[in-house]
Amino acid sequence: MDKFFSVSRWWSIVLKEFLQLRRDRVTFGMIVGIPLIQLMLFGYAINTDPKNLPTAVIVADQSEFTRTLVSALRTSGYFAVTEQLSTEEEGRAALAQGRVQFVLNIPADFTRRLLRGERPALLLEADATDPAATGMALGAINQIAQTVVKRDMTGLLAHLAGDPPPFEVRVHRLYNPENNSQFNTVPGLMGVVLTMTLVLMTGLAMTRERERGTMENLLAMPVRPIEVMTGKIVPYIVIGLIQSSIILLAAWLLFRVPFVGNLLAVYVSALLFIAANLTVGIMLSSLAQNQLQAMQMTMFYFMPNILLSGFMFPFRGMPEWAQTIGNILPLTYFNRLIRGILLKGNGWFDLWPNLWPIALFTVVMMVIAVKFYRRTLD
């Protein structure tokens, strides 16, 4: 009767656990959803060898050689020529705004000096904030130079062929010349930490009231939804700003991340980004029935953020569908903002293309959240 281990007792525990699991829809969703999402993201979206990186060319010298050179860039698969610019300033601006990853500069007297055997130089400027994004392409550049030599340096020009090639490709790694990957990761971490903690904390803050039954008490008091919502948010804004400051201090003191840009711009961007995350938290909390669900939903939200925002893997290496998802997430824009300000010294004009999407995201989320909150009144 009092066996040491009763199989039927044990089995009834197993059954009860399965019954409860089956009723917990969100957990069930996670059991199926998480491996699928992980497979899709890691299997298809992530690519550490990004190809077709947008490249601007400034061709001040149109000749057979330069045409071959540009087409060799294209056929290498690493470079996609997206813009033709005329001045070096335009090139720098395109890099600063993140429109292009590379700018190839062919000087005016390139062909003439090449024919004279003076070994002229081409200038390839790279946005090296993320060393992983540019590394492979820069590695391919000498191969490309050799292609040009093999194709065009024949016949009368055969004397120019050889190793080293008759021209030089000078690579300028802008913004992060030492290829220090921490300079990329540490500022990026700021957005990741803010996303994780703020979405989770606001999600919990609202569901906690519901779970403990204190929500009904709040609703019975003469307080308006907008007052409850904004009032509950304020402490988390402060927390977000403290977290930002800790990471900024660490970036500066421990990792020696360059602070090229404006600190005010950092905080304005951070504040906007914090607002975006808080609206996500409120959204999730109005969907979640309890604190556990709020946590699980935060996980769902967090995963694509960390993988598709350009925090861990080069954004431009991802296929188009993954970039589309990434382009919805505020973290994608915040990563560009914070790296742009700290490493590139971006000004307001350069920042704007990445500021407005976060603002738009926040407004849309806020509207949805307020709608959902009203419904919980009834």
Partner 1 sequence: MSGADDDLAIDVRSLNKHFGDKHVVNNVSLQVRRGEIFGFLGPNGSGKTTSIRLMCGLLTPDSGSGTCLGHDIRTEADKIKREVGYMTQKFSYWDDLTIRENLNFVARMYGMEKPREAVNEALENLGLGARANQLTGTLSGGWKQRLALAACMLHQPRLLLLDEPTAGVDPTARRDFWEELHRLAAQGISVLVSTHYMDEAERCHKLAYIADGKLLAQGYAADIVAEQALHTWTIHGERLTELSDQLRRAPGVDQTVAFGAALHVSGRDAAQLEKTVREFSAAQGLRVEPSETSLEDVFIYMMNHSKNNAGAAA
Is the Cβ of residue 35 or residue 231 nearer to partner 1 in the bound state?
231
Q: Give the number of residues in contact with partner 1, rule: CB under 8 A.
A: 13
Which of 39, 219, 242, 364 lies at the binding interface for partner 1 (CB under 8 A)? 219
Q: Cα–Cα distance between 98 and 55 in angstroms, integer?
A: 11
Q: Which is nearer to partner 1, 1 or 220 (CB)?
A: 220
Cβ nearer to partner 1, comparing 155 with 222: 222
Applying CB under 8 A, among 7, 13, 14, 377 the residue interacting with partner 1 is 377
Q: Shortest approach of partner 1 to residue 281 CB, angstroms?
A: 20
- The number of helix segments (H) and strand segments (E) in the chain equals 15, 5
Q: CA–CA separation, 297 vs 300, rounded Å?
A: 5
Nearer to partner 1, 78 or 236 (CB): 236
Question: For partner 1, which stretch binds (CB under 8 A), given 189-197, 215-223, 276-284, 351-359?
Answer: 215-223
Q: Which is nearer to partner 1, 223 or 226 (CB)?
A: 223
Among 212, 256, 371, 374, indicate the residue that binds partner 1 (CB under 8 A): 212
Q: Does 223 bind partner 1 (CB under 8 A)?
A: yes
Distance between CA atoms of 262 and 200, rounded to whole angstroms?
29
How crowded is the C-beta side of 184, counted as CA atoms within 13 Å?
23
Q: Is 38 in the site for partner 1 (CB under 8 A)?
A: no
Q: How far is residue 65's CA from residue 60's CA, in Å, rounded to a whole number?
A: 13
Q: Minimum distance between the CB of residue 285 and partner 1, rounded to whole angstroms?
A: 17
2 interacts with partner 1 by CB under 8 A? no
Position 47, amino acid: N
The owner of tokens 């504040």 is 271
Q: In angstroms, rounded to a whole number, what is the distance separating the alpha carbons of residues 47 and 32?
A: 24
Binding to partner 1 (CB under 8 A) within 302-321 occurs at none
Q: Which of helix, strand or coil describes residue 108?
A: coil
Closest approach, Cβ 187 to partner 1, in A, equals: 36
- DSSP assignment letter at 347: -
Nearest to 372 by CA among 225, 210, 205, 234: 225
DSSP 109: T
Q: Does 213 bind partner 1 (CB under 8 A)?
A: yes
Dig out the tokens for 112 from the structure: 């003439």
263 touches partner 1 by CB under 8 A: no
Element (H, E) at 218: helix 214-220
Q: Looking at 222, 253, 320, 375, which residue binds partner 1 (CB under 8 A)?
A: 222
CA proximity to 92, closest of 56, 44, 40: 56
Taking the complex as a whole, the smallest distance from the CB of residue 301 to partner 1 amounts, in Å, to 27
Residue 313 DSSP SS3 = coil
Q: Phi then psi for 123, rounded to 5 degrees? A: -110, 120
Q: Does residue 234 touch partner 1 according to CB under 8 A? A: no
Q: With binding defined as CB under 8 A, does residue 376 bind partner 1? A: no
Nearer to partner 1, 89 or 378 (CB): 378
| Both tokens assigned to 130 | 């993320």
Out of 7, 156, 221, 253, the residue judged to bind partner 1 by CB under 8 A: 221
The answer to whether residue 14 forms part of the interface with partner 1 (CB under 8 A) is no
Q: Between residues 75 and 289, which has the closer beta carbon with respect to partner 1?
A: 289
If the CB atoms of residues 80 and 215 are measured against partner 1, the closer one turns out to be 215
The two three-digit tokens of residue 220, written as one number: 């019975």
Beta bridge partners of 94: none
Told to check if 217 binds partner 1 by CB under 8 A, we report: yes
Q: Does residue 214 interact with partner 1 by CB under 8 A?
A: yes
Shortest spacing between CB 255 and partner 1, in angstroms: 37
Bridge-based pairing of strands 121-127 and 79-85 is unpaired
* One of 1, 14, 156, 220 touching partner 1 (CB under 8 A): 220
**Residue 375 lies near partner 1 (rule: CB under 8 A):** no
Task: Give the nearer residue to partner 1 in terms of CB position, either 60 or 239.
Answer: 239
Which 3 state secondary structure label does DSSP give 32? Answer: helix
**Closest to 57 in 3D by CA, of 39, 72, 36, 42:** 72
Q: Give the interface with partner 1 as residue ranges (CB under 8 A).
A: 212-217, 219-223, 377-378
